[in-house]
């Protein structure tokens, strides 16, 4: 009999499967003091919480039987993930339970923005009746551009089409087949930005998507465009949005999230064209029940030794295998990160080849780490456990190969990423006393330490090319720590990898690209 301890309020409907399970004893004790929680956790096999219970390292240390901690929601800030991982306890959350709720809230904001409903309401209750002040616009035949067509973006598209809107979508993982199935027009980011009468963002917040909508982006938009953000604060540059509304470029904005929450006395609130809500995307009765249902199912799967998908930390693996694989973990993740950043487009197939001694081990944990490194360039919240699920969900084919031939090294790991535009690869090994090394990029032999800020430059092998690159960087105060050059033939195609002390400004990249012998310049952050 498994004991499931629930320490925060969850509805009976949300935990119905647990209550009906014959092999589970559900113990509900909310409002526990920290000392009371320490006593209760000792005999628990699973712990289910929301945001109130603080699952500290002390609590985890007292958990002698605990196999899983389940958060009925998305955020896990109240759980010490590192302590749980160190003790082999799986932490799961519910990233899908608020999909419908958030999509509906976004559409409610879209309609409210179009018809000035919040502004009109405030006017009426103030005793005014000024119909001419609140003339709106119809959604019929307007174009909605959705930036990020994941679960929530796809649900928003369905609702927009029901209102006879034209939907244009950008997502690096959007295939032609899925776009056709959803009835949306697939577009590049720039095309989607330019096409929309309405633009709604639904991407995760990553390094690449922070301020995805910025001053230059606003200049590409239609005059009178309307902007929505019910995803993550920071995707839109709020200062640039303020300026775009003041100039008349943007007719209005609907915001449920902000870069800083609560936003306080935000300048945007001084503009009558802006409507806002306090991060209500997931705030429905149904969403709260759905997240409880999702984590209840995950808890049952884990307790019964069945497959699960929404873990946010590493699963426990045998200590002996972990010891053998641990030295390769950094190399695996860095190879994935390098190839993803060096390539163009989202992955369609990821092929991992293990050669030499490492091929004799169970390398599944390393493959998950490689997937995490590769997918994290486009997706947020990717970890070793959910990376295979996310790859499958987005139609990315994963191929794992083993060979005894390691070309003079005792072991090699090769990561090859195929996109709709090109195929790129990076091969690496471990050097005794020196750690991870990238030994080959595509077909070019190199010796690169995969860390820090790198410039990956493709060029023609011509006299003076390297010197001119160094001069440009030196003139801009960029120090080169190391440089590696790879070529196959004299005067042919070549690459150079420069490890630099800090990131470079975009105009430095553009200056390098203008050189005759330079074909591409990519900044890679490892």
Residues with a known catalytic role: 232, 261, 279
Phi first, then psi, for residue 268 (nearest 5°) are -60, -30
Burial label, 487 (beta-carbon count in 10 A; 0-12, 13-18, 19+): middle
Distance of CA 409 to the CA centre of its chain: 35
Burial label, 44 (beta-carbon count in 10 A; 0-12, 13-18, 19+): buried
What is the distance between the terminal CA atoms of the chain, rounded to a whole angstrom?
46
H or E element that contains 299: helix 285-303
The conformation of residue 66, written as its DSSP 8-state character, comes to: -
Q: Report the relative pairing of strands 411-418 and 349-356 from DSSP bridges.
A: antiparallel
d(CA 244, CA 274): 12
SS3 for 125-177 is: HCCCCCHHHHCCCCCCCCEEEEECCCHHHHHHHHHHHHCCCEEEEECCCCCHH
Q: Report the relative pairing of strands 198-201 and 225-229 from DSSP bridges.
A: parallel
Contact 403, 332 (CB under 8 A): no
Lookup result for tokens 């196999």: 67
Contact 225, 199 (CB under 8 A): yes
319: Cβ–Cβ under 8 A, 6 or more apart, which residues? none
d(CA 283, CA 193): 29
Contact 454, 509 (CB under 8 A): no
Query: Residue 116 has which token pair?
Result: 């000035």
The conformation of residue 479, written as its DSSP 8-state character, comes to: P
| Apex 309 CA angle, 305 and 314, nearest 5 | 80
d(CA 371, CA 390): 9
How long a stretch of residues is the chain?
526
CA dihedral 15, 19, 25, 31 (to 10 degrees): 40
Contact 53, 60 (CB under 8 A): no
d(CA 74, CA 30): 20
């Amino acid at each position: 009999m498994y004991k499931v301890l629930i320490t925060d309020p969850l509805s009976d409907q949300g935990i119905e499967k647990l209550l009906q399970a014959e092999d589970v004893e559900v113990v509900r004790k909310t409002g526990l003091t920290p000392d009371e929680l320490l006593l209760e956790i000792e005999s628990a096999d699973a712990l289910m919480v929301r945001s109130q219970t603080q699952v500290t390292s002390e609590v985890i240390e007292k958990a002698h039987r605990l196999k899983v901690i389940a958060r009925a929601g998305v955020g896990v800030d109240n759980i010490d993930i590192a302590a749980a991982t160190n003790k082999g306890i799986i932490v799961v959350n519910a990233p899908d339970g608020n999909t419908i709720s958030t999509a509906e809230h976004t559409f409610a904001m879209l309609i409210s923005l179009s018809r000035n409903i919040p502004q009109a309401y405030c006017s009426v209750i103030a005793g005014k009746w000024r119909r001419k002040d609140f003339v709106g616009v119809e959604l019929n035949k307007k174009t909605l551009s959705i930036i990020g067509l994941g679960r929530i973006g796809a649900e928003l598209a369905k609702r927009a089409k029901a209102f006879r809107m034209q939907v244009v979508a950008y997502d690096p993982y959007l295939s032609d087949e899925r776009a056709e199935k959803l009835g949306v027009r697939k577009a590049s980011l720039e095309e989607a930005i330019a096409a929309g009468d309405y633009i709604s963002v639904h991407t995760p917040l990553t390094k690449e998507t922070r301020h995805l909508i910025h001053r230059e982006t606003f200049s590409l938009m239609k005059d009178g465009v309307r902007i929505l953000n019910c995803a993550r604060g920071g995707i839109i540059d709020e200062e640039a949005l303020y300026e775009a509304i003041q100039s008349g470029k943007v007719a209005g904005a609907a915001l449920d999230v902000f870069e800083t929450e609560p936003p306080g006395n935000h300048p945007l609130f001084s503009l009558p064209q802006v409507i806002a809500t306090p991060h209500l995307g997931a705030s429905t009765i149904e969403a709260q029940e759905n997240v409880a249902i999702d984590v209840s199912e995950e808890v049952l799967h884990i307790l019964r030794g069945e497959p699960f998908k929404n873990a946010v930390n590493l699963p426990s693996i045998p200590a002996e295998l972990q010891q053998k694989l641990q030295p390769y973990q950094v190399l695996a993740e860095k190879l994935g990160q390098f190839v993803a950043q060096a390539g163009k487009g989202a992955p369609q197939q990821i092929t991992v080849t293990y050669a030499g001694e490492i091929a004799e081990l169970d390398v599944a944990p390393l493959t998950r780490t490689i997937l995490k490194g590769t997918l994290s360039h486009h997706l947020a919240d990717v970890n070793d456990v959910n990376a295979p699920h996310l790859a499958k969900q987005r139609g990315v084919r994963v191929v794992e190969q083993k060979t005894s031939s390691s070309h003079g090294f005792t072991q090699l790991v090769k990561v090859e990423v195929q996109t709709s535009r090109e195929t790129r690869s990076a091969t690496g090994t471990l050097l005794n006393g020196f750690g991870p090394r990238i030994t080959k990029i595509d077909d070019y032999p190199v010796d690169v330490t995969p860390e820090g800020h790198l410039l990956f430059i493709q060029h023609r092998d011509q006299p003076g090319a390297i010197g001119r690159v160094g001069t440009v960087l030196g003139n801009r105060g960029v120090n080169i720590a190391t440089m590696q050059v790879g070529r196959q033939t004299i005067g042919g195609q070549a690459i150079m990898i420069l490890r630099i002390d800090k990131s470079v400004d975009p105009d430095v990249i553009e200056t390098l690209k203008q050189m005759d012998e330079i074909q591409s310049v990519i900044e890679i952050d490892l």
